[in-house]
Amino acid sequence: MVGDGCHGDSCKGDFAMETVAMDTVSMDMVAMAMGIDEMVAMETVAMALGVNGTVAIGTVVMVSVANVSETVAYNMQLELSRVDYTIVGLTAPQTMKLLPNQGSKLNQKVAVADQDGVLQVFSLKKGEIQLSFKTLPGPGISRLELGGAIGTVQDKIFVSSGNEVRGYTKKGKLFLAFDTNLTEPIKSMNVSGSNLLICGKHAYNQYHDCKDANSYLCGDEINDVISFPYEKTNRLVPVLACEDSSLRVLDRSKVMHTVEIDSSPTVLHLYRNDGGDTGDQVLFGTVDGRVGVLQVGRTGVHNRWLVNNELHRGGILCMDCYDITGDGMMDLLIGRQDGSIEVYSIEDDGEDEDGKETRKFGFTCNESVTSIQGGIFGSSGCDEILATTYTGFMFGLTSHKTTETKASIDFISDKIENLRTEIEEIEQKVIKERERYQDATQDKSDGLSAIPYISINDKVDISLQNLQFAPVKHLRTTRLSTKDPGSGRMLRSFLSNMKKRERDKMLMTAWAESSSMNMAKTSVPK
């Protein structure tokens, strides 16, 4: 079982380690991942952990060379390696999808949207990003869904931004631009054939062929919406995940069932991606990190818990079902608020026992996981878990071995050289911009110097078991460490500039108030 990540002095240099209690652990995997000798690998790991070389080394070794990082995660059931693909803008939850392919083991394209309003679809060929299309920046995109006519391949891309919904083909052709005229921005969305389900903060609306069909006003905030597959149920059954710890099943504009649960549901996903055998089952993740399944029959509803958060992880932000283990059974992929990625087995033996699913894999990154998908993206025939984070990092956890052949090693060397060249070009651009900024600040002009806007994602979780508050903050900025002299100087300079700007702001405010008072005095007639 993978640990929570590196803390304190456990992380040094470019290596981040996680340890677990194991009797015997081979260093072959570590040496293979780092491309060095086994003894050198053991000494390097020991140095990074601050222990001697005889200590049992755990599961995760992160190697970062010229912004190329690869993580090898290992437990008794899964062995996956992290590969970073690209960086996009800030992402909202559930804004990344893998497009379906006709072939079962062919590489898939990925569609990802960000808060800059950019939607891009690309694939990976020979280690390089092959862009299919990319839209111009605009209002931030809050949700991305795939759809299409019932019974056909669901490869149409639908995105929501503000109160507008746009539809694109996989080649980038815009075929839908629908203004909903809602008074609040779209928060969640679902597409089922010609039916478009849209939720703001409190309002639910259903559109059939872009015509208003049904609506519902919820008394509490709506976190997510989903509908059962029409192919199996022969009817449209929307399900709302509401902040008041309830799941509401709708029939047109009326509430058919209200299911109370122990915690607020945050995300909904179809059981096994198709609602199960009968098409009437939906997975729900909660803010306290648990996952349950809800079954909606024609006569009643039934719910049970699948995953109990015994490790006290963060809340659920995204889910997917995919056979990542290759045993012919669907696995549950989970992305959490605290950066945890987990794989659970989905065992369907007709029993109603709560929390019986087994944890097969765990991985921890340093920020919230906003989207997660299982598929084939980086290497043909190799299953992987594709994930995006809040700040826009897109990476995969793949079973592909990048160090098996000499050709792969040569390919990695070429990629590192290309990245080094790209880094040098970026450094030159930074130097030019820094010189231009210094010239502008030293000039006696009336220009203003302002701090760029920094988007902060903050959330406070309350753990009833431990009676603790767990604040989570993510912002897109450079990570600074006070232990590193250079980073420490940068941090002190940053804080000093912040204090100076705050002082200047206070002086400017006082000057403006004083000027307005003087103008008021001079305007009074004698």
Q: In the predicted model, is pLDDT for residue 206 greater than 80?
A: yes
Q: What is the pLDDT of residue 402?
A: 53
Among 75-89, 353-367, 416-430, 480-494, the least confident range: 480-494
Q: In the predicted model, is pLDDT for residue 163 greater than 80?
A: yes
Q: In the predicted model, is pLDDT for residue 72 greater than 50?
A: no
Report the percentage of the chain scoring pLDDT > 90: 46
Q: What is the pLDDT of residue 422?
A: 87
Output DSSP code: residue 357: P
Report the percentage of the chain scoring pLDDT > 70: 65
Q: Is residue 308 assigned to a domain?
A: yes
Residue whose entry in the numeric block shows the structure tokens 């915690």: 263
The larger pLDDT score, comparing residue 331 to residue 12, is at 331
- Identify whether residues 311 and 251 lie together within a single domain: yes
Q: How confident is the model at residue 106 (pLDDT cuts 50, 70, 90)?
A: confident
Q: Is residue 471 assigned to a domain?
A: no
Phi, psi of 510 (to 5 degrees): -65, -40
Q: Decide: 364 and 314 in contact? Cβ < 8 Å.
A: no
Q: Give the highest mean pLDDT range of 189-198, 425-434, 470-479.
A: 189-198
CATH of the domain at 399: 2.130.10.10
Strands in 173-287 per DSSP E:
174-179, 188-192, 195-199, 203-208, 211-217, 222-227, 238-242, 246-251, 254-260, 265-270, 281-286
Rounded to whole angstroms, the Cα distance separating 482 from 22 reads 33
- Identify whether residues 29 and 94 lie together within a single domain: no
- Identify whether residues 64 and 129 lie together within a single domain: no
Quick: pLDDT tens for 481-497: 444 444 454 455 555 65
Q: In the predicted model, is pLDDT for residue 12 greater than 60?
A: no
Residue 224: give the domain boundaries: 80-404
Q: How confident is the model at residue 81 (pLDDT cuts 50, 70, 90)?
A: confident
- Looking at residues 284-294, what average pLDDT do you find? 94
Q: Tell me which amino acid residue 3 is.
A: G
Q: In the predicted model, is pLDDT for residue 526 greater than 50?
A: no
Helix or strand (DSSP H, E) at 404: none
Q: What is the pLDDT of residue 223?
A: 95
Closest CA to 337 of 276, 286, 261: 286
Q: Is residue 457 assigned to a domain?
A: no
Q: What is the pLDDT of residue 178?
A: 94
Q: What is the pLDDT of residue 483?
A: 40
Q: Tell me which amino acid residue 11 is.
A: C
Dihedral angle computed from the Cα positions of residues 48, 49, 55 and 61, in that order, rounded to the nearest 10 degrees: -70
- Looking at residues 238-257, what average pLDDT do you find? 94
Q: How confident is the model at residue 503 (pLDDT cuts 50, 70, 90)?
A: low
Q: Decide: 20 and 58 in contact? Cβ < 8 Å.
A: yes
Residue whose entry in the numeric block shows the structure tokens 């369907």: 348
Q: How confident is the model at residue 406 (pLDDT cuts 50, 70, 90)?
A: low
Mean pLDDT of the chain: 77
The larger pLDDT score, comparing residue 514 to residue 49, is at 514
Q: Give the highest mean pLDDT range of 52-56, 131-135, 230-234, 365-369.
A: 131-135
Q: Is residue 46 assigned to a domain?
A: yes
How many CB atoms within 10 Å of residue 336? Answer: 21
Q: Decide: 336 and 362 in contact? Cβ < 8 Å.
A: no
**What DSSP line would sit under 488-522, residue for residue?**
HHHHHHHHHHHHHHHHHHHHHHHHHHHHHHHHHHH
Output DSSP code: residue 56: P
Closest CA to 167 of 152, 179, 184: 179
- Identify whether residues 62 and 87 lie together within a single domain: no
Q: Is residue 448 assigned to a domain?
A: no
- Identify whether residues 434 and 294 lie together within a single domain: no
Q: What is the pLDDT of residue 7?
A: 37
Residue whose entry in the numeric block shows the structure tokens 């903060």: 201
- Identify whether residues 177 and 292 lie together within a single domain: yes
Q: Is residue 65 assigned to a domain?
A: yes
- Identify whether residues 248 and 147 lie together within a single domain: yes
Residue whose entry in the numeric block shows the structure tokens 């060929």: 125
Q: In the predicted model, is pLDDT for residue 316 greater than 60?
A: yes
- Identify whether residues 350 and 246 lie together within a single domain: yes
Q: How confident is the model at residue 125 (pLDDT cuts 50, 70, 90)?
A: confident
Q: In the predicted model, is pLDDT for residue 164 greater than 60?
A: yes
- Identify whether residues 43 and 126 lie together within a single domain: no
Q: Is residue 468 assigned to a domain?
A: no
- Identify whether residues 358 and 267 lie together within a single domain: yes
Q: What is the pLDDT of residue 444?
A: 60
Among 24-28, 277-281, 470-474, the least confident range: 24-28
Q: Is residue 64 assigned to a domain?
A: yes
- Identify whether residues 278 and 197 lie together within a single domain: yes
- Identify whether residues 490 and 432 lie together within a single domain: no
Q: How confident is the model at residue 195 (pLDDT cuts 50, 70, 90)?
A: very high
Q: What is the pLDDT of residue 105?
A: 72
Closest CA to 480 of 488, 472, 492, 469: 488
Q: Decide: 418 and 412 in contact? Cβ < 8 Å.
A: no
Q: How confident is the model at residue 53 (pLDDT cuts 50, 70, 90)?
A: very low
Q: How confident is the model at residue 196 (pLDDT cuts 50, 70, 90)?
A: very high
Domains of the chain: total: 4
Q: In the predicted model, is pLDDT for residue 104 greater than 50?
A: yes
Residue whose entry in the numeric block shows the structure tokens 């991606």: 273
CA 235 vs CA 34, 67, 239, 297, 510: distances in Å: 54, 50, 13, 12, 64
Among 54-68, 213-227, 492-506, the least confident range: 54-68
Q: How far is CA 507 from the centre of its chain?
A: 41
